[in-house]
Amino acid sequence: MLGVIVTSGLELTAGPISEQLRAAGVNKVVAVPDLAGLAGMASTSDEPLLICADDLVAHTAVLRHLATNPAGSTVALVVEAGSGSRGERVREERGRLVPGEPNAAFGGALRVDPPDLPDLMAAARGGVGVGLDALPASLRGVGVTVFSQRVRQLVAARARDGVARAAAQATIAEIQPEEVELRLAVRERDDLVATYLVSSWSPRLTGWAARVGLGPNTVTAASVAFVAAAALLFWAGGRPALLLGAAMLYLGFVLDRVDGQLARYTRRFSPFGGWLDTMADRVKEAVVFAGLAVGAQGDGWALAVGVLLLITVRRQSDTWYLALHDEAAARATPSTGRLGRLSHRVQSDQGSPAYWLKQTALFPTGARWAVIAVCVALFDQRVALVAVLVCAVLSAAYTLVLRTARALSMRVPVFASADPTLYRDDGAAAHLLRRWSVPPLAAAVLGAAGAAAALVVARSGGSDLAVVALGALVLAAALGAWHAHDGPLDWLVPAALRAAELLFVVAAGVAYEVPLPVVYLLLAALALHHCDFTTRLEKRVEGPPLHKLGLGWDGRAVVLVVGAVAGAASAAFAMLGLYLAALVVVDAWRTWSYGAAGR
């Protein structure tokens, strides 16, 4: 159910904006004279409210997009600051309104969901006599995160009089909203491969999927099936199979983009759908690397283990670096210095050579899939794994250096609005060592160094006891669990902890002669386990309800050592991997079994 308030006192319940609101699926349209009346309605409402100024002229699709925006509980319509809008000037950054120099204007419409209605009531009462345009700033003033919805290729304007209204309506009539909505379903910022080799034609496939009634989750499943077929072809080997596998991998990536486009076009969003899409991407990667490893033979599994380990750690650093930017935007403390200004200028110049060079240097999913497809088509599976590993190493080095420099200039504590005890994924060792307190990044780096040393010792034929002894050094990472995570580089702590755990898993596997496919199975399960945490963070969903049953990274390391010393290393690795995969599934069922509608 969605309620609507048309404000500022004019009786427009039978006017154009009211008709559009009803066409957008609104069940109730009410006119209120001022913010005092708005506060009264917010105090009694138990359904979402879409608040519109009475001078707003917009495509019905604009209102529908605002009403169904999945970003958060409070979403404001924003337009270009130079578009002649009468709205209050605001600053929009990374999809939300933040303090700072204005770069946009409030478009005259605001969606507020029930959790924020008490804050809406307080903001409306505090803004009486000011007007609707001051409402976003008032909401931010009482602690509400206000997300943003841009108009992009559609039309939304504030009409001062009948002439302005007629002009805006004439502009609206010139645009075919269905065609524009298909284009709007494409990600505004995507990688080079997706932009030019997929999104240039995939909207037609998206439109067909919508017409035949396919849901985004169905398309996600089809994408997994295509990629799994590609992995089987890589496994089989032979030039015809490799060529067909490259084509299937490309089609799987196309469907990976279509599922998101379909969700945006049909407005069928849900946290579960977003979580499923991201988790499916991790499954597809693990399956493809495994298929390449079997087909490559020889050192194929060793290469696949290295690729999966590096990409898993890199994803952790990506997630927390983006969270760092969100925190910096909320505090109005953007990156300063020449590097920060240069990065912002390149990012703003969308479509320029420098922009695409930076996007490609990040080595996103589209680039990884393209490298694999080209290498298997022209060469073989081993070349594909080596190429991905080299590109991933270079990209990781590039991003680590530049992001560290920018984070030092921002000096923002990334965990100020997140619980580090959850995202560290600590176990019993952290509680046993809580009387000691070490800066978390130093402790995590020490643990990762210990794991790397254990791997070197294991590969050089050192004793098993030496590997176990270095495992004790890995547990030193738990010393930082109870220290304040407020350093400018503490966004690296989760990635360093994941590196420590995954490197030690590989070291123990090598030392105790666990078959590399079994080691890979455990690494893939750990990748899913950690991805579950970060995806929930990105989708603003509570942490896994059963996360404590995962034993923590330190508890899992102890389980592996005990199993290895007992002479059952392979069984311990396999059972732990299967247990973690099952735990992810059960956690997902507990979270979404009663709320998975939508995607």
CATH at residue 599: 1.20.120
Helices (H) and strands (E) in the chain, counts: 25, 10
Q: Write down how long the chain is.
A: 599
Domain edge (last residue) among 184, 213, 247:
184
46 assigned to some structural domain:
yes
Confidence (pLDDT) at 332:
67
Higher pLDDT, 346 or 234: 234
What does the pLDDT look like over 194-210, one tens digit per residue? 999 999 999 999 999 99
Would you say residue 21 has pLDDT above 90?
no
Q: What per-residue string of b and e applies to 277-300 under the rule 16 or more CB within 10 Å gives b?
A: bbbbbbbbbbbbbbbbbbbbeeeb
Would you say residue 481 has pLDDT above 80?
yes
Which band of pLDDT confidence, cut at 50, 70 and 90, is reported for residue 128? low
Task: Confirm if 531 and 282 have CB atoms less than 8 A apart.
Answer: yes
308 assigned to some structural domain:
no
CATH of the domain at 168: 3.90.550.10
Would you say residue 131 has pLDDT above 80?
no
Amino acid identity for residue 112 in this structure: V
434 assigned to some structural domain:
yes
Distance (Å) of CA 529 to CA 585, 586, 587? 10, 12, 10
Biggest alpha carbon–alpha carbon distance for the chain: 85
350 assigned to some structural domain:
no
Alpha-carbon gap, residue 514 to 301, rounded angstroms: 12
Would you say residue 482 has pLDDT above 70?
yes
Angle at which helices 239-266 and 365-378 pack, to 10 degrees?
Answer: 160
Alpha-carbon gap, residue 190 to 202, rounded angstroms: 14
Alpha-carbon gap, residue 419 to 423, rounded angstroms: 7
Confidence (pLDDT) at 27:
61
Task: Confirm if 422 and 430 have CB atoms less than 8 A apart.
Answer: no
Closest Cα to residue 507, out of 225, 309, 215, 325? 309
502 assigned to some structural domain:
yes
- Average model confidence (pLDDT) for the chain? 86
Higher pLDDT, 241 or 333: 241
Task: Confirm if 60 and 39 have CB atoms less than 8 A apart.
Answer: no
224 assigned to some structural domain:
no
Please spell the DSSP secondary structure of 81-149, one letter per residue: TTS---SPEEEEETTEEESSS--EEEEEEEEE-GGGHHHHHHHHHHTTTT-GGGHHHHHHHTT---EEE
- With tokens 């690296």, the residue in question is 492
Confidence (pLDDT) at 594:
52
Alpha-carbon Rg for the chain in angstroms: 26
How large is the average pLDDT for residues 250-268? Answer: 94
Would you say residue 365 has pLDDT above 80?
yes
Confidence (pLDDT) at 523:
97
Least confident of 25-34, 103-112, 413-422: 25-34
444 — phi, psi (to 5°)?
-65, -40
Query: Residues 102, 146, 188, CA angle at the centre, nearest 5°?
Result: 75
Token duo for residue 473? 């050094």
Task: Confirm if 546 and 533 have CB atoms less than 8 A apart.
Answer: no
Q: Which stretches of 207-355 are assigned E, i.e. beta strand?
A: none
Alpha-carbon gap, residue 306 to 292, rounded angstroms: 13
Secondary structure of residue 380 in the 3-state scheme: coil
Number of domains in the chain: 2
Would you say residue 596 has pLDDT above 50?
no
Which band of pLDDT confidence, cut at 50, 70 and 90, is reported for residue 215? very high
Domain span at residue 532 reads 413-599
Stretch (H or E) spanning 79:
strand 74-80
204 assigned to some structural domain:
no
Would you say residue 283 has pLDDT above 70?
yes
What is the rounded (10 degree) CA torsion for 498, 500, 501, 505?
130
312 assigned to some structural domain:
no
Domain edge (last residue) among 143, 159, 184:
184
Contacts of residue 355, defined as CB under 8 A and 6 or more positions apart, other chains included, come to 346, 347, 349
How large is the average pLDDT for residues 125-143? Answer: 77
| Sign, Cα dihedral of 88, 89, 90, 93 | positive
Which band of pLDDT confidence, cut at 50, 70 and 90, is reported for residue 157? confident
Would you say residue 73 has pLDDT above 50?
yes
Token duo for residue 145? 């995160």
Confidence (pLDDT) at 279:
95
Would you say residue 12 has pLDDT above 90?
no
What does the pLDDT look like over 262-280, one tens digit per residue? 999 988 888 888 899 999 9
Token duo for residue 252? 């799987």
Distance (Å) of CA 158 to CA 17, 165, 168, 177, 563? 12, 8, 9, 19, 68
Distance (Å) of CA 380 to CA 75, 384, 471, 515, 552? 49, 6, 37, 23, 38
Domain edge (last residue) among 152, 184, 216:
184
Query: Residues 276, 281, 286, CA angle at the centre, nearest 5°?
Result: 125
Task: Confirm if 124 and 42 have CB atoms less than 8 A apart.
Answer: yes
Which band of pLDDT confidence, cut at 50, 70 and 90, is reported for residue 598? very low
Token duo for residue 551? 């034993």
Secondary structure of residue 151 in the 3-state scheme: coil
Contacts of residue 19, defined as CB under 8 A and 6 or more positions apart, other chains included, come to none
pTM: 0.90
What does the pLDDT look like over 321-345, one tens digit per residue? 999 888 887 776 655 556 666 666 7
Task: Confirm if 63 and 17 have CB atoms less than 8 A apart.
Answer: no
Alpha-carbon gap, residue 446 to 456, rounded angstroms: 15
Confidence (pLDDT) at 230:
98
Higher pLDDT, 72 or 219: 219
Q: How many CB atoms lie within 10 A of CB 396?
A: 17
Higher pLDDT, 142 or 380: 380
What does the pLDDT look like over 501-554, one tens digit per residue? 999 999 999 999 999 999 999 999 999 999 999 999 888 888 899 999 999 999
Would you say residue 570 has pLDDT above 70?
yes
